[in-house]
Chain A
Amino acid sequence: MSVKTLTINDQPIAIEEGKTILDAAKEAGIPIPTLCHLEGVSDVGACRLCLVEVKGINKLLPACVTQVAEGMEISTNTPKLQEYRRMAVELIFAEGNHVCSVCVANNNCELQDVAVEVGMDHSRFVYRFPDRGVDVSHSQFGIDHNRCILCTRCVRVCDEVEGAHVWDVAQRGAACYIVSGMNQPWGEVEACTSCGKCVDACPTGAIFRKGTTTAEKAGDREKLEFLVTAREQGQWTR
Chain B
Amino acid sequence: MEKIKFATVWLAGCSGCHMSFLDMDEWLIDLAQYVDVVYSPVGCDLKEYPDNVDVCLVEGAVANQENLELLEEVRAKTKLLISFGDCAVTANVPAMRNMLGTAEAVLKRGYLELGDCNQQLPYAPGIVPELLDRVTPIHELVKVDIFMPGCPPSADRIKATIEPLLNGEQPKMEGREMIKFG
Taking the complex as formed, is A101 at the interface, i.e. its CB lies under 8 A from any CB of chain B? yes
Chain A residues contacting B90 (CB-CB under 8 Å) are 93, 99, 122-123, 127
Interface-located stretch among A25-33, A111-119, A147-155, A162-170 = A111-119
Question: Which residues of chain B in 97-145 are interfacial with respect to chain A, using CB atoms and an 8 Å cutoff?
Answer: 98-101, 134, 136-137, 139-140, 144
Q: Please provide the chain A residues from 82 to 99 with a CB less than 8 Å away from any CB of chain B in the complex.
A: 93, 97-99
Given contact pairs A106-B182, A115-B181, A116-B180, A130 touches B99 in the complex (Cβ within 8 A): yes
A10 in contact (CB, < 8 A): no
Q: Does B160 contact A (CB under 8 A)?
A: no
Contact (Cβ within 8 A) B99 A129 = yes
> Does residue A103 face the partner (Cβ distance < 8 Å to B)?
yes
Query: Which chain A residues border B178 with CB–CB below 8 Å?
Result: 121
**Interface size of B in residues (CB-CB distance below 8 Å):** 32
Name which residue of chain B comes closest to A132, CB basis.
B99
Complex interface: chain B residues within 8 A of A99 (CB): 90, 92-93, 95-96
Docked Cα-Cα span, A98 to B140, in Å, equals 17
- Identify B179's interface contact among A93, A98, A116, CB under 8 A: A116
Q: Which residues of B contact A146 (CB under 8 A)?
A: 99
Residue B31 CB within 8 A of the other chain:
no
> A107 an interface residue at 8 Å Cβ cutoff?
yes
Which one of B39-47, B50-58, B70-78, B168-176 is at the interface? Answer: B168-176
CB closest chain-A residue, reference B150: A101
Cα distance, A103 to B176, chains bound together (Å): 18
Q: Does B9 contact A (CB under 8 A)?
A: no
Whether, in the assembled complex, B59 has its beta carbon less than 8 Å from a beta carbon of chain A, the answer is no
Please provide the 4 A-B residue pairs with the shortest distance between their CB atoms, ordered closest to farther: A100-B182, A101-B151, A129-B98, A121-B147
